[in-house]
C-alpha cells in the first residue's frame, strides 16, 4: 500500500515538474540568447546536410562582379543601354526568363532614350520580372510612411511584372526566410521569386493571400508559411552554388567593344554552346563593394566563411518553389508534446536512476532527440525547434536533481537521526553513501547476531538501591555499545540488561562474523576494566554471557502498520539467544555456533564445547568457546585447548577413564574451567552408570 502511495507521489512530482519545466522553457526561449542558439541550430542542420542534390542547373546568375567592375567601361550606375543589350542578348540566346535584382526606380534624365531602349528590350523578352522595394520613411511626428518604390513608368508599361527584393533578416543578421508577399496601402505586392514562379506556372493570383492560413497558395502549390508572410529557403548550398557568369561576358559580343585584351567576344561562344537556352536568368550584384552580400546558414560551411550575394538568395528561393521541396515548420502543438515527453522521460530516468547513470541517460535522450531533429530536417524537410524541447529537458533534469537532493538530504537526515541511536556513525555514513537504505518489510540475508546478558542481574537489582542499579547499568551498557559501534555493529535492542546486536546490516560487509567475535572479546575486556573502575565491591560485580550465531535471517523494518522497528527475526536469531543462555550450563562467557566458527576458524583460537540440542531445535549442533583472536599463552594452549581436546575425543569414544584423566589435568592448572568440570562430572556418572548402547554424545539442553 505504501509502495503504491509512493509511486503515485512520484508520478505527481514528475508531471508537475514537466509542466513547470515547459512553462519555464518557453519563458527562457523568448530571451535573445536562447533565440540566437535556436537560430544557430538551423545553420548547423544545413551544414550537416550539406548541399542539396542534384544541383539545380535550370537557374543561372549574371553578376555585376569584380571582373565586370574592372572591365566594363564607365562607372556605376551603368547606362540602361547596357541592360537593354543584356536583355536582347539573352532573348537571342534562348533564355526562358530574366529576373532583375537591380532596381530601375529612377529616370535617367541625361539619357532618357536609354530608358526607352530598356523598356523596348523588356517588352520583346516578355518573361521579365523587375525589382521593386518596400521602403519606410519616417515622417513628421515620427510617423512611419511605408510605400513601394516601383520601376520607372516606361518599364511598368511593358508586360514585365514587379517583384519585391526585400528579404527579412533574423535577429542574428542571418537570412533563413524569404518574403512571399507584402501588403502596402490598398495593394498586395509579391516577392521576386514568387512572381517568377507564378509566371513559370502560368497561374494568376487574383485572390489576395490570407494572412491567417498556414500555407500560401501559388497555383496548385501550397507553400508552408513561417509566421504570416514568409517561407523557409531550402538553400541549395553555400555561395556560388548556382552557375554564375560575369555581366561583362554576356555583353561582350562582336558588336560590343571592350578595351584591350578584354574584348574576347565570349558571348558569341555562349550562343554557340547554348549556355542560356531555356535558362531562368537572375541578374544582380555579387561584388563585395556593392554591399549586397548576406549571411546565410552556409556562411561557415567546410571551414570557409563566405557570404551569399543577394541575387543568389532569390535564386535559392525560386529553386525551392520550382522543385517544391519546401521546409515545413513543425506545428506548435508538436513542439509542446515533444517537450512534455522529454520532460517526462527525464523525470523517469532521474527518479529511477541516480548519479552518473541518470545524467548519461538524459544526455543520451538529448543526443537522440538531436538526431531525430536532423533526420526530420534532412529526409522529411521538417524543421522542429531544438531550443524549447531541450530547454524543457534540461530544466526538468535540473529540477528533478534539485528535488532529489532536497528529498534525499531530508531522508538521509531522518535515517541518520533514526539509525545513529543504534548504529555506529561510520556505518550510517557508509550506508547513506552507498544508497543501501533499509527498505520497509524484510529481506533474507546471511548475518551474524550477538546476544549478551548479565548473570544474576535480578539478584543484583534486589540487593542494591535503584540509583546504584541504574548507574552501574548505564556505565555497562554505554561501554558495550561503544564496542559494538567500534566494530560496525548495529544495536538492535536492549531488553533490560540484555543486549542484542547485529553485524552485516543495514550496511552489509562480508566479514560480519569476524567483527562480531572481535566485538565480543573486547566486551569481556571492557567489563574487566569497568570492574577496576568500580572500586567498591560491596555492590557486586557483573558477569556476562555472550552467544553468537551466523546464518540466514530476516532483516528489515518489521512490525505492525502502526509501529515497526529495524530488527532481525528467524531460527538463527533464536539460536544465538540459546547460545547466550548455554554459557550458564558450561560456566563460560562466550559461545559461538559452528557456522560462526567456520567463518573465523583460521583467525581464532577456539575449543569445541559439545554437540547439543538447544531448546526448540530438533537438530544437534556443535558449539565452541571462543578464547581469543590473537595468540594464547602457552599454558592455555597446552591445557585448555590441546589436553582438553584429547579428553573430549576420549569422552566421545566412551573411554571415560582416559577422558577423566585429561579433564583433571586441565583442572589442576585451571580449577575454574567450567567445561572441564562438567565433563569430569559426566565421566564419573558414566563410570558409575554406563551410557546406553545408542548413546551418540549429543547433550540435550533443558533450559533456554
**pLDDT above 70: percentage of residues in the chain:** 85
What pLDDT score was predicted for residue 2?
42
Selection from 95-104, 420-429, 498-507 with the highest mean pLDDT = 95-104
Query: pLDDT tens-digit profile of 22-60?
Result: 666 666 656 656 678 888 999 999 999 999 988 899 999
Which of the pair, 163 or 508, is modelled with greater confidence? 163
What pLDDT score was predicted for residue 499?
92
**pLDDT above 90: percentage of residues in the chain:** 52
Backbone φ, ψ for residue 280 (5° rounding): -90, 120
What pLDDT score was predicted for residue 203?
80
Residue 538: CB atoms within 10 A of its CB come to 8
Of 29-33, 77-81, 169-173, 581-585, minimum mean pLDDT range: 29-33
Selection from 31-40, 70-79, 677-686 with the highest mean pLDDT = 677-686
Predicted model pTM: 0.63
Using alpha carbons, list the distances in angstroms from residue 444 to 10, 296, 454, 554, 593: 27, 67, 30, 5, 19
Read off the DSSP letter of residue 290.
G
What pLDDT score was predicted for residue 426?
58
479 burial level (CB within 10 Å; 0-12, 13-18, 19+): middle
What pLDDT score was predicted for residue 399?
73
Backbone φ, ψ for residue 695 (5° rounding): -65, 130
What pLDDT score was predicted for residue 11?
59
Residue 277 has pLDDT above 60, yes or no: yes
Which of the pair, 341 or 562, is modelled with greater confidence? 341
Which of the pair, 117 or 31, is modelled with greater confidence? 117
Of 3-17, 125-139, 192-206, 432-446, minimum mean pLDDT range: 3-17
Mean pLDDT computed over every residue of the chain: 85
Rounded to whole angstroms, the Cα distance separating 542 from 464 reads 13
According to DSSP, the residues that pair with 548 across neighbouring strands are 450, 592
What pLDDT score was predicted for residue 26?
64
Q: pLDDT band at residue 252, thresholds of 50, 70 and 90?
A: very high
Q: Which structural domains are found in the chain, ordered by start?
A: 2-47+328-414 (no CATH), 54-167+182-204+235-323 (no CATH), 429-630 (3.30.70.1230), 633-704 (no CATH)
Residue 6 has pLDDT above 60, yes or no: no
Degrees to nearest 5, angle at CA 203 with 197 and 204: 105
What pLDDT score was predicted for residue 218?
87
Query: pLDDT tens-digit profile of 403-421?
Result: 666 776 676 666 666 565 5
Does residue 570 contact residue 451 with C-beta atoms inside 8 Å? no
Cell triple for residue 512?
Answer: 560480519
Query: pLDDT tens-digit profile of 472-489?
Result: 888 899 999 999 989 988
Query: pLDDT tens-digit profile of 425-470?
Result: 655 555 565 555 555 567 889 999 999 999 888 788 878 888 888 8
Q: Looking at the chain, how many residues does it have?
A: 704
What pLDDT score was predicted for residue 198?
93
What pLDDT score was predicted for residue 605?
94
Query: pLDDT tens-digit profile of 601-652?
Result: 999 999 999 999 887 777 899 999 999 998 899 999 999 999 999 999 999 9
* Mean of pLDDT values over 283-304: 92
What pLDDT score was predicted for residue 28?
61
Count Cα neighbours of 226 within 13 Å in the Cβ-side half-sphere: 20
Q: pLDDT band at residue 1, thresholds of 50, 70 and 90?
A: very low
Rounded to whole angstroms, the Cα distance separating 680 from 622 reads 19
Backbone φ, ψ for residue 237 (5° rounding): 160, -165
Amino acid at each position: 500500500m505504501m509502495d503504491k502511495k509512493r509511486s503515485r507521489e512520484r508520478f505527481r512530482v514528475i508531471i508537475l515538474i514537466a509542466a513547470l519545466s515547459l512553462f519555464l522553457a518557453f519563458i527562457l526561449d523568448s530571451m535573445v540568447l536562447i533565440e540566437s542558439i535556436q537560430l544557430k541550430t538551423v545553420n548547423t542542420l544545413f551544414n550537416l546536410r550539406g548541399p542539396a542534390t542534384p544541383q539545380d542547373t535550370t537557374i543561372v546568375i549574371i553578376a555585376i562582379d569584380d571582373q565586370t567592375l574592372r572591365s566594363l567601361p564607365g562607372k556605376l550606375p551603368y547606362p540602361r543601354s547596357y541592360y537593354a543589350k543584356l536583355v536582347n542578348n539573352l532573348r537571342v540566346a534562348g533564355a526562358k526568363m530574366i529576373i532583375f535584382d537591380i532596381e530601375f526606380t529612377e529616370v535617367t534624365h541625361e539619357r532618357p532614350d536609354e530608358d526607352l531602349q530598356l523598356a523596348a528590350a523588356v517588352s520583346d523578352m516578355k518573361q521579365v520580372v523587375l525589382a521593386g522595394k518596400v521602403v519606410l520613411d519616417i515622417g513628421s511626428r515620427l510617423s512611419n510612411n511605408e510605400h513601394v518604390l516601383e520601376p520607372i513608368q516606361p518599364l511598368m508599361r511593358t508586360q514585365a511584372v514587379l517583384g519585391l527584393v526585400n528579404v527579412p533578416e533574423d535577429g542574428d543578421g542571418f537570412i533563413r526566410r524569404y518574403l512571399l508577399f507584402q501588403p502596402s496601402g490598398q495593394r498586395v505586392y509579391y516577392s521576386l521569386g514568387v512572381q517568377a514562379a507564378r509566371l513559370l506556372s502560368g497561374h494568376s493570383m487574383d485572390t489576395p493571400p490570407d494572412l491567417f492560413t498556414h500555407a500560401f497558395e501559388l497555383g496548385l502549390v501550397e507553400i508552408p508559411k513561417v509566421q504570416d508572410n514568409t517561407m523557409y529557403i531550402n538553400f541549395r548550398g553555400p555561395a556560388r552554388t548556382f552557375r554564375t557568369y560575369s555581366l561583362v561576358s554576356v555583353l561582350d559580343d562582336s558588336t560590343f567593344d571592350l578595351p584591350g585584351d578584354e574584348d574576347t567576344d565570349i558571348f558569341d561562344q555562349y550562343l554557340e554552346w547554348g549556355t542560356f537556352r531555356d535558362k531562368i536568368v537572375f541578374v544582380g550584384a555579387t561584388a563585395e563593394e556593392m554591399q549586397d552580400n548576406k549571411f546565410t546558414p552556409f556562411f561557415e560551411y567546410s571551414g570557409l566563411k563566405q557570404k551569399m550575394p543577394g541575387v543568389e538568395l532569390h535564386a535559392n528561393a525560386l529553386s525551392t518553389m520550382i522543385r517544391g521541396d519546401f521546409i515545413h515548420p513543425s506545428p506548435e502543438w508538436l513542439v509542446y508534446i515533444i517537450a512534455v515527453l522529454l520532460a517526462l522521460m527525464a523525470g523517469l530516468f532521474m527518479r529511477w536512476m541516480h548519479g552518473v547513470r541518470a545524467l548519461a541517460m538524459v544526455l543520451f535522450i538529448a543526443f537522440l532527440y538531436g538526431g531525430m531533429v536532423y533526420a526530420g530536417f534532412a529526409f522529411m524537410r521538417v524543421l522542429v525547434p531544438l531550443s524549447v524541447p531541450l530547454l524543457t529537458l534540461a530544466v526538468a533534469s535540473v529540477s528533478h536533481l534539485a528535488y532529489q537532493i532536497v528529498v534525499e538530504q531530508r531522508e538521509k537526515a531522518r535515517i541518520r537521526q533514526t539509525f545513529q541511536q543504534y548504529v555506529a556513525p561510520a556505518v550510517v555514513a557508509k550506508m547513506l553513501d552507498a544508497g543501501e537504505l533499509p527498505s520497509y518489510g524484510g529481506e533474507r540475508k546471511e548475518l551474524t547476531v550477538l546476544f549478551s546478558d548479565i548473570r544474576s542481574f535480578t539478584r543484583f537489582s534486589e540487593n542494591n538501591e535503584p540509583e546504584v542499579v541504574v548507574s552501574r547499568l548505564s556505565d555497562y551498557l554505554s561501554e558495550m555499545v561503544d564496542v559494538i559501534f567500534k566494530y560496525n555493529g548495529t544495536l538492535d535492542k536492549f531488553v533490560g540488561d540484555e543486549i542484542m546486536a547485529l553485524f552485516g546490516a543495514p550496511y552489509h560487509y562480508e566479514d560480519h562474523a569476524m567483527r562480531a567475535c572481535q566485538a565480543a572479546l573486547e566486551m569481556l575486556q571492557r567489563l574487566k576494566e569497568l570492574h577496576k573502575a568500580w572500586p567498591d565491591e560491596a555492590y557486586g560485580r557483573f558477569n556476562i554471557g555472550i552467544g553468537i550465531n551466523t546464518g540466514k535471517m530476516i532483516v528489515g523494518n518489521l512490525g505492525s502498520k502502526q509501529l515497526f522497528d529495524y530488527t532481525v527475526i528467524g531460527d538463527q536469531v533464536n539460536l544465538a539467544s540459546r547460545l547466550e543462555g548455554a554459557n550458564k550450563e558450561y560456566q563460560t562467557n562466550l559461545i559461538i555456533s559452528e557456522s560462526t566458527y567456520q567463518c573465523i576458524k583460521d583467525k581464532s583460537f577456539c575449543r569445541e564445547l559439545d554437540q547439543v540440542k538447544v531448546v526448540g531445535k530438533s537438530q544437534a549442533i556443535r558449539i565452541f568457546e571462543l578464547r581469543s583472536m590473537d595468540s594464547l599463552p602457552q599454558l592455555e594452549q597446552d591445557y585448555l585447548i590441546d589436553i582438553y581436546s584429547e579428553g573430549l575425543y576420549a569422552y566421545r569414544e566412551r573411554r571415560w577413564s582416559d577422558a577423566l584423566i585429561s579433564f583433571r589435568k586441565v583442572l589442576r592448572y585451571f580449577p575454574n574451567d567450567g567445561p572441564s568440570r562438567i565433563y569430569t562430572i559426566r565421566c564419573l556418572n558414566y563410570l558409575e552408570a554406563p551410557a546406553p548402547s545408542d548413546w551418540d554424545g549429543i547433550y540435550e539442553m533443558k533450559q533456554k
